[in-house]
Structure 1
């Protein structure tokens, strides 16, 4: 595992840790989408954030490996 990979994984795990701690203080249902009036149109579980946090990282890793 090279240095770049270690730094990337460290940042991902750090983000997940901060989000996991913040999740303890969030309400059970939080708004995710707002319309032009500023009203919430879609609500979701606070655990939805934890589920999709690694997605941008995984997409980036997939595309960065293709160039090598």
Structure 2
């Protein structure tokens, strides 16, 4: 997999935001609610850095679907 400058920015910027915001997050982050407004499951704040990879994954899958290099 070859990375260009745009790929690196799309990967690095969300990771930097997550690293900066992690100390300010609660220990458990609510991720899903039911119809009554109760939380179904939580995400540990130490795993929140994984959310930073979502924009990169979506971007790469979009490029692959469209045939861009």
Q: What is the TM-score when the length of structure 1 is the normalising length?
A: 0.70
* 1:12 to partner: Cα distance: 2.2
Give the deviation of 1:47 after TM superposition: 2.3
Coordinate RMSD, CA, aligned: 2.4
Q: What's 1:39 paired with?
A: 38
Residue 48 of structure 1 deviates from its aligned partner by 2.2
Which structure 2 segments of 5+ residues have no match?
A: none
Give 1:51 shift. 1.8
Higher RCO (Cα < 8 Å, 6 or more apart): 2
Indicate how the Cα distance of structure 1 residues 27 and 20 shifts in structure 2: closer, same or farther if over 3 A, else same: same
Give the match for residue 8 of structure 1. Answer: 7
State how far apart, in whole Å, the 1-side matches of 2:60 and 2:27 are.
31
The runs of at least 4 aligned residues of structure 1 exceeding 6 Å deviation read none
Partners of 1:39 and 1:6 lie apart in 2 by 42
Q: Which moved more, 1:55-64 or 1:30-39?
A: 55-64
Number of residue pairs aligned between Structure 1 and Structure 2: 66
Aligned partners of 1:18, 1:59: CA distance in 2, in Å?
Answer: 18
